[in-house]
Structure 1
Amino acid sequence: EHVKRAAHQIVDELHDDDALAVVTFSDRAEVVLPSQSNVNRTRAKAKISTIQAGGGTEILQGIRAGLAELEKHHGDRVTTHLILLTDGQTYGDEEGCIAEARQAGARRIGITAMGIGEDWNDALLDEIAAQSGGVSAYIASPSQVRALLQQRIRGLGTVFAQGLTLEPRFAEGVWMESAFRISPYLERLTPTDSVINLGTLQANAPLTIVLELGVAQRPAGEHRLLQLELTGNIPALDRQGDKLRRDVRCTFIPTEPPPEPVPTAILNALNRVTLYRMQEGAWDALKRGDISTATRRLEMMATRLFDLGESQLARAALLEAGRIAKEGTPTARGHKELKYGTRSLTITPRRRPHD
């Protein structure tokens, strides 16, 4: 019912030139509302109200049916996006889901993958979002659906550029250790054929990327380390494949440089990356059966979170650390709360409240 009310609100906020389609999927996919602009709001809401939950969770069938509807109005000057909501596991079609997401990304169609509750595959939804240039999100309870859906839809309405890709071209002896998106949300970025898919850029949400590089020893002097090429489309200006290139250079000196303060923006970004790696390392250790390391990493994460004023998330980390130390496994809810809570941390540390 929460999802239906959220969908009704989306219908009410549509503009005449917006197109909407609604697809449900359980054991099979069903097109409840075919893709259409100039939506008849009363009829659309009546159709949505007939949706009944039940059956299995065939995500692949839902994605395919949804993408087929989106293609009807897809174009260079249109922001085309699929919002996937699921509260269950899908079995046996994971590779197909990822392949469809990859093809959608190549067509500049992003996918926002939202999991409701605890019984869904977060690794799969993350990969679907990453391959398409979209976003994955955790909805702890159905009552949060309305706010999160509204936030996402309004964000899509402010898209300035889409189909963004970043291609780093490295000089000899330079390589990339890791890449992270820092804002508007935190995630590890994985290149495909040396290209990083960044999805869309909203007009009111700056995009911040951190690249960790390895650099072989260089003689003293200025050296070009890499060139960054950003490619994207600007629908409002009818510009396709716009490119922006920037060189990254570094000066090497033969002696130790004098100490200089690190810019606050860099410190804050690295704090977020460190927190993300801590929780990532904890789950990796747990998969290996190393309970001691997993517990220690979560406890360290909690300390960092308390220092940043993120008391609620810090307590959640301590709670899961204690549970893992005692029982050897985290709760599904705790795992997702920490994973997605860390992603949504703001760059600027909050003031720590006094208890």
Structure 2
Amino acid sequence: MSVNLTCKLSDRLLDSNQGSSQRQLAISVSANASVDGNNAPLNLCLVLDHSGSMGGQPLDTVKRAARDLVDRMHLQDRISVIGFDHKAHVVVENQLVDRTESIKEKIQSLKASGGTCIDDGIKLGLQETSKGKDGTVSQLFVLTDGENEHGDNERCLQFSRLATEYNMTLHSLGFGDSWNQDVLERIADAGGGAMAYIASPAAASEEFQKLLKRVQAIGLTNAHLVLQLAPYVRLAELKPIAQVSPDTIELPYQTEGNAIIVRLGDLMTDVERVVLFNLYISPASYIAENPASSTIPILTAQVRYDIPSLAQINSLSDPVTITAELVQDFTPQLDSQVQNHLLALAKYRQTQLAEQKLQQGDRAGAATMLQSAAKTALQMGDYNASTILQNNATRLQTGTALSESERKKTRIASKTVLQTPPNP
């Protein structure tokens, strides 16, 4: 098992006469499938809300989706289930998926009652998941249909960050329309996972299966990008790093000596993680010291990662060096793939601005930003997202408030590509 690492500048040409030039660098990272095609076993914990509001069809649907999930897991995988209302309890202790009927019976025993305390569910989920984490890919699916009325949202985020420190990934699933998308997005972002929206009971099984397929494709875990910037190259000061695939999120970074460290988390064999870096480069200063050079070094990139199937930690990929070409007669030569990644980030940020304006009561401003986001989505070939964003902009322009469902669809459309763009 190894890493696929590719790097592309938004434009490989630099005007040698410029004092400073801005470039975006897209780094794509994925796991290279193992020779035998087998990844490490999955260690999955389902953290399920069974508060009073889940009563009837919602809980019945979730239990059915969870049971179907168990049937799709492998015998060497591990499963645990946590139920929570205003407190959490273990429904299925961490164990191998070799007694499926017993596991499914325990899931079926869940009854709806009480309030909602998401953080207690996450805390107990981490404890149960930790029992089976050696040599496995540890993942938590946290599902809720409501506000964290009996809990503390900041505590949820603390537990989500703690999960990543112990090489566990946390995904959030919002069921229905009464959950808080701000909270569940922050939980998923902090936990290194994805946020899913289950708009109706009929969609529960599909969303569970999509997440299961994603985590079953994980080959490497605890991945970090390690970058060494060359002299005359610096990161932009404001929001310099963002992931744009498979989900869009502003990424924090740390420094270790002269290195910039960015945590990526899990690496999948079938989907790349794509990270954008906003760089400022000083060609004229470099040429002043290297007048005979026709290229300028930009950075060296490596990936540090764990291989759970081999119980190896802190493996390091071969370094990849990025350079740009210095030219006197500069004509832009934009890279179409990087431009598409930039559109994905623009769509996300435009939608964020729209939501901020909506919170401030500025419907006209929100509609304008949603229209911009819709046009951006159309440019990148994300037609489904474009339709959602434009329809919501139109509703605001006609004086109609957005429903909770429409707000949630907007958030999902901002973070993911709902339709695969055509090849450039």
Report the TM-score range of the alignment, normalised by the length of the smaller protein: 0.7 to 0.9
Q: How far has the Cα of 1:311 moved from its partner? A: 4.7
Residue pairs, 1:156-167, within 5 angstroms: 156-167=215-226
Query: Match of 1:330?
Result: 402
Structure 1's 41 and 63: CA in aligned 2 closer, same or farther, altered over 3 A?
same
Given that 2:61 and 2:204 are in contact with CA atoms closer than 8 Å, whether structure 1 keeps it comes out as yes
Kept after mapping to 2: 8 A contact 1:268/1:348: no
1:99 partner amino acid:
Q
2:141 and 2:171 in contact (8 A); partners too: yes
- 2:117 corresponds, among 32, 43, 58, to 58
Specify the alignment match of 2:336 in structure 1. Answer: 264
| Higher relative contact order (Cα pairs below 8 Å, separated by 6+ residues) | 2
- CA drift at 1:217: 6.2
Greater strand percent: which structure? 2
| Aligned residue in 2 for 1:186 | 247
SS in structure 2 of the partner of residue 134 of structure 1: strand
Which residue, out of 364, 375, 379, partners 1:292? Answer: 364
CA distance in 1, matches of 2:74, 2:382: 38
Question: Displacement of 1:307 after TM fit?
Answer: 5.1
The match for 2:322 among 248, 251, 254 is 248
TM-score, normalised to structure 2, is 0.75
Question: Which amino acid counterpart does residue 323 of structure 2 have in structure 1?
Answer: R
135-144 or 65-74, which deviates more: 135-144
Partner residue in 2 for 1:317: 389
Query: Aligned equivalents of 1:103 and 1:160: distance in 2?
Result: 21
Structure 1 pair 251–350 and aligned structure 2 pair: CA distance change class (3 A): closer
Which residue of 82, 87, 94 corresponds with 2:153?
A: 94
Q: CA deviation at 1:316?
A: 2.6
Q: 2:374 aligns with which of 278, 294, 302?
A: 302
Greater CA deviation, 168-177 or 103-112? 168-177
Q: Which has the higher helix share?
A: 1
Q: Which moved more, 1:342-351 or 1:298-307?
A: 342-351
Q: Does 1:33 align with 2:106?
A: no
Name 1:140's counterpart in structure 2: 199
Query: C-alpha distance in 2, partners of 1:16/1:347?
Result: 33
Letter in 2 for 1:207: R
1:210 aligned to 2:210?
no
Deviation at 1:308, TM superposition (A): 5.2
Residue of structure 1 in register with 2:308 after alignment: 235
Cα offset, 1:277, TM superposition: 2.0
Q: 4+ residue stretches of structure 1 with deviation over 6 A? A: none
Cα offset, 1:110, TM superposition: 0.3
From the superposition, tell whether residues 136 and 197 of structure 1 become closer, same or farther in structure 2 (CA, over 3 Å): farther
Give the residue type in structure 1 aligned to 2:140.
L
Distance 1:41 1:347, change over 3 A: closer
Contact 1:174 1:225 in 2 (8 A): no
CA separation of 1:178/1:292 partners in 2, compared to 1, >3 Å: closer, same or farther?
farther
Match of 2:51 in 1: none
Distance 1:307 1:344 in 2: 15
TM-score by length of 1: 0.88
Taking the aligned partners of 2:182 and 2:407, their CA distance within structure 1 comes to 12
Unaligned residue ranges in structure 2 (runs of 5+): 1-59, 256-260, 288-292
Is this contact kept in 1: 2:229–2:300, CA < 8 A?
Answer: yes
Moved more, 277-286 or 309-318: 309-318
Q: Which moved more, 1:287-296 or 1:169-178?
A: 169-178
Give secondary structure in 1 for the equivalent of 2:240: strand
Instruction: Please state how far the C-alpha of 1:347 moved relative to its aligned partner.
Output: 7.6
In structure 2, what is the Cα distance between the partners aligned to 1:59 and 1:306?
Answer: 37
Q: Is the 8 A contact 1:272 1:347 kept in 2?
A: no
Change (3 A) 1:178 1:144: farther
The percentage of counterpart residues that share the same residue type is 25
**Structure 1, 115-124 or 193-202: larger mean CA deviation:** 193-202
Residues 132, 199 of structure 1: 8 Å contact kept: no
Worse overlay, 80-89 or 185-194 = 185-194
Q: Shift of the alpha carbon at 1:30?
A: 1.5
Summarize the Cα distance change of 1:188–1:218 in structure 2 as closer, same or farther, 3 Å threshold.
farther
**Mapping for residues 146-157 of structure 1, pairs under 5 Å:** 146-157=205-216
Q: Deviations over 1:261-312 (max 9, x none)?
A: x333223222222222221221123334443322111122233444555554
Is the partner of 1:48 in helix, strand or coil? helix
CA deviation string 1:79-115 (max 9, x = no partner): 0111111111114511111111111101100001111
1:175 — aligned with what? 235
Shift of 1:58: 0.3
